Amino acid sequence: MKKIEKEVADRYFREKNRNIIIYFIVWFIVSYGVVLFAEPLSHMTFLGFPFHYYMGAQGAVITFIILLFVNAKLGDNLDKKYGIDESKNEQISSGRALDH
Protein backbone atom coordinates (compact mmCIF):
# COMPACT_ATOMS: atom_id res chain seq x y z
CA MET A 1 0.00 0.00 0.00
CA LYS A 2 1.42 3.37 -0.93
CA LYS A 3 0.27 6.83 -0.16
CA ILE A 4 -0.82 9.06 -3.05
CA GLU A 5 -1.43 12.78 -3.13
CA LYS A 6 -4.95 13.64 -1.99
CA GLU A 7 -4.86 16.22 -4.78
CA VAL A 8 -4.54 13.41 -7.37
CA ALA A 9 -7.40 11.41 -5.88
CA ASP A 10 -9.59 14.49 -5.80
CA ARG A 11 -8.80 15.21 -9.43
CA TYR A 12 -10.14 11.74 -10.23
CA PHE A 13 -13.32 12.54 -8.30
CA ARG A 14 -13.74 15.93 -9.99
CA GLU A 15 -13.26 14.56 -13.51
CA LYS A 16 -15.80 11.88 -12.85
CA ASN A 17 -18.32 14.37 -11.47
CA ARG A 18 -17.82 16.72 -14.40
CA ASN A 19 -18.79 13.89 -16.77
CA ILE A 20 -21.80 13.01 -14.67
CA ILE A 21 -23.01 16.62 -14.72
CA ILE A 22 -22.76 16.64 -18.52
CA TYR A 23 -24.73 13.38 -18.74
CA PHE A 24 -27.45 14.78 -16.53
CA ILE A 25 -27.75 17.95 -18.62
CA VAL A 26 -28.31 15.84 -21.75
CA TRP A 27 -30.71 13.60 -19.82
CA PHE A 28 -32.72 16.62 -18.71
CA ILE A 29 -32.97 18.13 -22.19
CA VAL A 30 -34.17 14.96 -23.96
CA SER A 31 -36.77 14.11 -21.31
CA TYR A 32 -37.96 17.09 -19.26
CA GLY A 33 -36.89 19.64 -21.88
CA VAL A 34 -38.95 18.02 -24.63
CA VAL A 35 -41.97 17.62 -22.34
CA LEU A 36 -41.84 21.28 -21.34
CA PHE A 37 -41.96 22.31 -25.00
CA ALA A 38 -44.19 19.46 -26.21
CA GLU A 39 -46.84 21.67 -27.81
CA PRO A 40 -44.55 23.67 -30.13
CA LEU A 41 -42.45 20.56 -30.91
CA SER A 42 -45.55 18.60 -31.93
CA HIS A 43 -45.68 20.46 -35.23
CA MET A 44 -42.39 18.94 -36.36
CA THR A 45 -42.33 15.37 -37.66
CA PHE A 46 -39.59 12.76 -37.48
CA LEU A 47 -39.81 9.28 -39.09
CA GLY A 48 -43.53 9.93 -39.48
CA PHE A 49 -43.99 10.73 -35.78
CA PRO A 50 -44.81 14.10 -34.29
CA PHE A 51 -41.42 15.04 -32.80
CA HIS A 52 -42.53 15.25 -29.14
CA TYR A 53 -44.08 11.80 -29.43
CA TYR A 54 -40.96 10.35 -31.04
CA MET A 55 -38.76 11.66 -28.22
CA GLY A 56 -41.04 10.23 -25.54
CA ALA A 57 -41.43 6.85 -27.20
CA GLN A 58 -37.90 6.30 -28.53
CA GLY A 59 -35.54 9.26 -28.64
CA ALA A 60 -35.16 9.73 -24.88
CA VAL A 61 -34.73 6.00 -24.17
CA ILE A 62 -32.07 5.61 -26.87
CA THR A 63 -30.23 8.65 -25.50
CA PHE A 64 -30.31 7.19 -21.96
CA ILE A 65 -28.83 3.92 -23.19
CA ILE A 66 -26.07 5.71 -25.07
CA LEU A 67 -25.26 7.87 -22.02
CA LEU A 68 -24.91 4.79 -19.81
CA PHE A 69 -22.50 3.12 -22.23
CA VAL A 70 -20.52 6.33 -22.66
CA ASN A 71 -20.28 6.56 -18.87
CA ALA A 72 -19.10 2.96 -18.58
CA LYS A 73 -16.45 3.42 -21.26
CA LEU A 74 -15.21 6.83 -20.09
CA GLY A 75 -15.19 5.52 -16.53
CA ASP A 76 -12.84 2.76 -17.66
CA ASN A 77 -10.60 5.28 -19.42
CA LEU A 78 -10.50 7.43 -16.31
CA ASP A 79 -9.52 4.42 -14.19
CA LYS A 80 -6.73 3.63 -16.64
CA LYS A 81 -5.48 7.21 -16.58
CA TYR A 82 -5.13 7.05 -12.81
CA GLY A 83 -3.56 3.61 -12.86
CA ILE A 84 -6.47 1.71 -11.37
CA ASP A 85 -6.20 -2.02 -11.96
CA GLU A 86 -9.55 -3.80 -12.17
CA SER A 87 -8.18 -7.17 -11.07
CA LYS A 88 -6.96 -5.55 -7.85
CA ASN A 89 -10.36 -3.96 -7.36
CA GLU A 90 -11.92 -7.40 -7.60
CA GLN A 91 -9.47 -8.79 -5.11
CA ILE A 92 -10.13 -5.97 -2.67
CA SER A 93 -13.91 -5.94 -2.93
CA SER A 94 -14.32 -9.69 -2.64
CA GLY A 95 -12.92 -9.45 0.87
CA ARG A 96 -14.97 -6.41 1.63
CA ALA A 97 -18.65 -7.33 1.66
CA LEU A 98 -19.94 -7.48 5.19
CA ASP A 99 -22.96 -9.35 6.37
CA HIS A 100 -24.19 -9.18 9.90
CA dihedral angle for residue 65, residue 68, residue 72, residue 77, rounded to 10 degrees: 100
DSSP string, 8-75: HHHHHHHHHHHHHHHHHHHHHIIIIIHHHTHHHHTTSEETTEEHHHHIIIIIHHHHHHHHHHHHHHHH
9 binds another protein (CB under 8 A): yes
Positions 19 through 48 that interact with another protein (CB under 8 A): 20, 23-24, 27, 31-32, 35-36, 38-39, 42, 45-48
Residues near another protein (CB under 8 A), total: 66
Positions 48 through 67 that interact with another protein (CB under 8 A): 48-50, 52-54, 56-58, 60-62, 64-65, 67
Q: At what angle do helices 60-81 and 6-28 cross, to 10 degrees?
A: 170
Which residues are near another protein by CB under 8 A? 1-6, 8-10, 12-13, 20, 23-24, 27, 31-32, 35-36, 38-39, 42, 45-50, 52-54, 56-58, 60-62, 64-65, 67-69, 71-72, 75-76, 79, 82-100
